[in-house]
Amino acid sequence: VVATFPSNYILDPACLAEIWRLLVPGGRLVIIPAAWNTGRKPCQRFLVGALRLLGWGRPQREAALAPFQQAGFKAENRIVDLPDSQVLLILADKPMEL
């Protein structure tokens, strides 16, 4: 299951239970909940500053895992570096053995 920039519905226990039901043992849920600009051009730096003023900073990585772990997933997150940005990935695996 893949979800890119989902709203908070993805954290709803009922939604996570349905994803759990759909996945086979060993299946994976991949979520891209956030991305941020890391470019050095003046317009990119301006955008970063403006978004921080609006409260759109980097998410708390470890706190993002709790709902998935509580739903029974083995969850981890990774930061993926791109040329002018970074992306947060959450990987949540349904264990092979239950």
Give the model confidence (pLDDT) of 27-40 as tens digits: 999 998 877 777 67
Neighbouring C-beta atoms of residue 33, cutoff 10 Å: 19
Cα of first residue to Cα of last residue in the chain, in angstroms, is 19
Give the tens place of pLDDT for each residue, 42-85: 766 666 565 566 555 555 556 678 999 999 999 999 988 888 88
* Alpha-carbon distance values, 65 to 30, 33, 69 (Å): 12, 11, 6
Strand partners, 92: 29, 75
Please check whether residue 93 is in contact with residue 27, taking contact to mean a CB–CB distance below 8 angstroms: yes
Q: Are strands 74-81 and 85-93 parallel, antiparallel or unpaired?
A: antiparallel
User: Token pair for residue 33?
Assistant: 């909940």
- The more confidently predicted of residues 90 and 54 is 90
User: Token pair for residue 47?
Assistant: 């955008």
